[in-house]
Amino acid sequence: MPIQKPYEQKRNLASPNQNIAPLTTEIDESGKLMVGGCLLSDLASRYGTPLYVIDETGLRVSCKAYKESLDKHYQGDSLVLYASKANSSLAISNIINSEGLGIDVVSAGELITALKGNLSPDKIFLHGNNKSDEELLMGYMNKVTIIIDNEHDVKRLSNLIPQNADPARLMLRLTPGIECHTHEYIKTGHLDSKFGFDPENLENILYKLKSCDFAKLEGIHAHIGSQIFELNPHQDLAEVLGESLKLAIEIGHPIKDLNIGGGLGIKYVNTDNPPTIQSWVETVAHAITKSCSDKKIHLPRLICEPGRSLIGSSGVTLYKIGSRKKIPGIRTYLAVDGGMSDNPRPITYQSKYSACLVDRPLSPTEEVVTVAGKHCESGDVLLKDLAIPRSSNGEILVFFATGAYNASMSSNYNRIPKPATVLVQNGHADLIQRRELSEDLLRYDVVPDRLLAVI
């Protein structure tokens, strides 16, 4: 079988989403793997495993790629938002802010992180298909843009915002009815979706919002999915959004923003071939420009909200190899000290990854193994059929392209603490999220007095 060696592949320095390994990945003189100028085995020794590692350079290059491409290909104003559900922390929020991007959030926790991470409220957009009163009120009080997803949002806002108060800044999400080739669970644009207003209800909700004193509708939003390798669906989306924009303007809404969502995929394995950031932006920008020109409406501020394609390829996860089980004629299981609690994507989406030994990436392969996690689930398998050198207990494995949705979807299944995260650049490593301790998992446990009574 072909051997995956992402660290040897020619890298696209302008579009990190096309690389399996982080942008700054290299082999040192002794043949060991480095990211951000730091030996991965040294990071594992210093911070423990499992360990999330983020390449700051790669993240910043991705941010610049989106911004510069929009400046080049779109004649109107534009704004890039980081979809913080991909990986949310104070440090990452600060990086996003320093690169001039905004951010989208889907909960009170992500909103607080963005605000404390120095994002300006006018660059924060609050999503969610079932926002709580707390989240809506927090968004309103902090003057962020609230994306209304359904009638429930409208009703709650009408009750929460006092009469004669400043109206809420709103954007309306619609379901465009566009299919694309991605996993069923991450399709959000087709009509059978929990997200957004259906097209046949658009006119009614636009007229309703026009009569609401608490509402200032400033934008239209749609999103067609995640990990997308196709460009044509975004051209179709531009036409749907153009029609919706024209209708909203005719009804009298002060629309200035058009948010086309995100969804650009990244390279996890050699067979993946996502478009570049530049080609995605060019396609979107030209499609929106044409749609607006055809309908004789002014160019809106074009907003996009990438998440995975900004940070996914810049992250890796380090694991320590533990037990081994060989089933003759079937497979060899190699267990690591993490698994589905720090990366639920394989068991949830059947996601595939690339991996190697950090200190022997160039050594000849001698065995094919299945990398299993340590959790009490037969399905806790991170990677099947990995070709590597004969490995030993205690060696470190690195999984590539884990910057998106690994830390943010992690759990405490089996009461296993969550990993630490370090940020690397130019030979420096900084802890940006501390490792949980087993004792931390007891912080919110409460034992009723009656269970403590002596029998």
Annotated catalytic residues are: 376
Q: Characterize the bridge pairing of strands 396-400 and 355-357.
A: antiparallel
Please list, in sequence order, all residues whose beta carbon lies within 8 angstroms of the beta carbon of residue 169, skipping any fewer than 6 positions away.
143, 144, 145, 146, 216, 218
- The count of other CB atoms within 10 Å of the CB of residue 133 is 11
Bridge partners (DSSP) of residue 26 are: 34
Return d(Cα 413, Cα 306) in angstroms, integer. 29
Element (H, E) at 321: strand 315-327
Question: Residue 228 has what DSSP assignment?
Answer: B
How many helices (H) and strands (E) the chain has is answered by 12, 20
In the block, residue with structure tokens 């299981």: 333
Q: What is the CA radius of gyration of the chain?
A: 23
Return d(Cα 399, Cα 388) in angstroms, integer. 13
Asked if residues 293 and 76 have their Cβ atoms less than 8 Å apart, the reply is no
Alpha carbon distances (Å) from 197 to 177, 211, 229, 245, 292? 11, 18, 25, 14, 22
Of residues 116, 68, 67, the one with CA closest to residue 92: 116
Asked if residues 224 and 189 have their Cβ atoms less than 8 Å apart, the reply is yes
**Tokens at residue 51, please?**
């360990």
